[in-house]
Amino acid sequence: MGELSRPRLNLSMAADGVGLVEIDSPPINALDLELYGEISMLVNTLEAMSEIRVVVFASKHPTIFVAGADLKKTQATGFTRAATSERLDRANLAFLRLQRLGKPTVAAIDGHALGGGCEFLLSMDFRFMRRGAPRIGLPEAALGLLPGAGGTQRLARLVGRMRAADLMMLARRIDADEAERIGLVTSACDDARSAAFAYAQRLALMPSSSIRWIKTCLNDGYDGDLPRGLAVERIAALETFTAAEAAEGVEAFLEKRPPRFHEA
């Protein structure tokens, strides 16, 4: 238990408005019940920190982002329905909480992100992946399993049903360039961390209220029918149009000056 008491998601301020979460769970950043709980607690912390407007996720380990579920622990606790149900519930709660965080999340993928590691990334808004050795995918079918922490649903929504079926049914592990081509990652790049931070700093300049409500519209309206989506959007528009940031944005536009969204 001593090892598990050490935080494995380390939060720091990386730049003005940008927080950095480094995943540090050697040797392969494997996911387990404790780490799922830590993800949920981290989201609560991030929501409360107004000084953080954008969050970058990266790994302390150069060859692994998150390798997936800890299969040794899974085997040790057994494949009973009760044990499996607890793992699935913890994972789904953590990833859904992360997806619904009211601040943009940006991943810097410098190493492999497979299985649960890929599902973790699918809960984020933007993904920058290093070209070369790193691979991303949901290869659970090769073990007689399937992605059970949102993978089948989020991947299909992101890249389409046919491509998602191809990746999952053949247990494919793809590189950054193919991942970019099919829309699984935002960009394939030579330096994922630098690209992620540059993007995050651009996002941090944007008005927080607009960004939060855009995420709400996408989370709550995109997968439903159009009338529901429009209803969600109307609520969001009422909130943003009457916020102080909207008044500043319009005033700055009319005065032909940069807006001052985050000045004290």
Please check whether residue 81 is in contact with residue 168, taking contact to mean a CB–CB distance below 8 angstroms: no
Alpha-carbon span 90 to 97, nearest angstrom: 11
Q: Which two tokens stand for residue 127?
A: 């993904």
Exposed, middle or buried: residue 75 (CB in 10 Å: 0-12, 13-18, 19+)?
exposed
Active site residue 140: yes
Alpha-carbon span 61 to 26, nearest angstrom: 8
Residue among 38, 140, 180, 245 flagged as catalytic: 140
- Any residues with CB less than 8 A from the CB of 214 and at least 6 apart, and which? 236
| 3, amino acid identity | E
- Measured in degrees and rounded to the nearest 5, phi and psi for residue 187 equal -155, 140
| 249, amino acid identity | G
Residue among 38, 119, 180, 245 flagged as catalytic: 119
Active site residue 178: no
Catalytic residue IDs: 119, 140
